[in-house]
Structure 1
Amino acid sequence: MIEEQGRILSVEPGAVWVETVRRSTCGSCQARAGCGQALLHKVASRSRQGFVRVLTDRSHQIGEEVVIGIPEQAVVSGSIWVYLVPLAGLFLFALLAQALSLAEPWIIVAAGAGLLLGLLTVRLQGRRHAGDPRFQPQVLRTLSGSLSAAASG
């Protein structure tokens, strides 16, 4: 289970909206001053807060600190779909066009069509599993003392 801490912003039936603070491992890396990844992260993450709809079967209050999580299998499965399916479509269509002895521009067009078909397949698969609770984050536990801190602040 991949876990993250957050604060509840809104409550709705069967779910809550949680604000999380994105953390980067760049803060603890010794090479961050000369690293392109750290620079890209700094530029891309103007807002370090994320808002996530999280499923829950318990009642919560606004301001509660909670731990949310998503199963590793959901992340691995999603990564395979997002990265491998479009890439497989690209290569499959390019190799098929080459096997048909098409000219190079047509091989490039076929590769692009395969990539687009792969991306469309990923989108359809994502819509099919959009309501599946196995692929959505859930509230795992409430952190102790979060209500007293929220009430006094």
Structure 2
Amino acid sequence: MIEERGRVIAVESGAVWVETLRRSTCSGCSANAGCGQGILARLGVGGRGGRVRALSSLKLAPGDEVVLGVGEGILVKSALLFYLLPLLGLFALALLAARFGVGESLIILAGLAGFLLAWLFVRRVARRHSDDPAMQPVVLRALVGGPLGPV
């Protein structure tokens, strides 16, 4: 289970909205000066937190600090689905168009069409599983002491 700390910002029946602090490892990277992520972090663009809805059976209130959990398998499958499948669609249709010997502009359009079709498929799958409790983060525990810091 992959864990992340956060702060409750809203409470619903059976779930809570949690804001997590995005952390970067830019201070330890040797390419910090020339990296776009490092520049954005220094400008304060990447410092805002991410908001996520998590299932919870605990009695929580806004401001409570919690630990969220997501299964490793679900995270890996989701990453492959969201990132790899659209790229595969792009390359598959572009290569198929190239195989038929069409012009470069049609190969580019075929690649974009493959990307779009794969993206639409990913979107459909994500909507179908959006209410599946097995696919959502859960609150593992509430933290009693120790401030999380500015979120």
Q: Decide whether aligned partners of structure 1 residues 128 and 42 sit closer, same or farther in structure 2, where only a CA change above 3 A counts.
A: farther
Aligned residue in 1 for 2:111: 111
Question: For the structure 1 residues 8 and 140, does the alpha-carbon distance in structure 2 shift closer, same or farther, using more than 3 Å as the test?
Answer: same
Alignment partner of 2:63: what SS?
A: coil
Q: Determine the structure 1 residue equivalent to 2:78.
A: 78
Q: What is the distance in 2 between the residues matched to 1:105 and 1:137?
A: 43
- Which amino acid in 1 is paired with 2:39? L
* 3-state SS, counterpart of residue 11 of structure 1: strand
* Structure 2: runs of 5 or more not aligned: none
Structure 1 residues without counterparts, runs of 5 or longer:
none
Whether the aligned pair in 1 keeps the contact of 2:40 and 2:46 (CA below 8 Å) is: no
Distance in 2, matches of 1:98 and 1:145, equals 61
After superposition, the C-alpha distances for 1:3-62 in whole angstroms (9 at most, x for unaligned) are: 111121221101011122111111344553444431144457355222221111222222
Instruction: Name whichever of 74-83 and 21-30 sits farther off.
Output: 21-30
What are the Cα deviations for residues 88-137 of structure 1, in whole angstroms up to 9, with x where unaligned?
11111112212222222222211111111111111111111111122211
2:26 is matched with 26
Q: Give the SS at the match of 2:20.
A: strand
Residue of structure 1 equivalent to 2:17: 17
TM-score of the superposed pair, with normalisation by structure 2: 0.84
Q: Is the 8 A contact 2:70 2:136 kept in 1?
A: yes
Deviates more, 1:126-135 or 1:43-52: 43-52
Between the two proteins, the alignment pairs up a number of residues equal to 147
C-alpha contact 2:21 2:47 (8 A) present in aligned 1: no
Which residue type is aligned with residue 55 of structure 2? L
Give the structure-1-normalised TM-score.
Answer: 0.83
Q: Percent identity?
A: 50
**Greater gyration radius:** 1
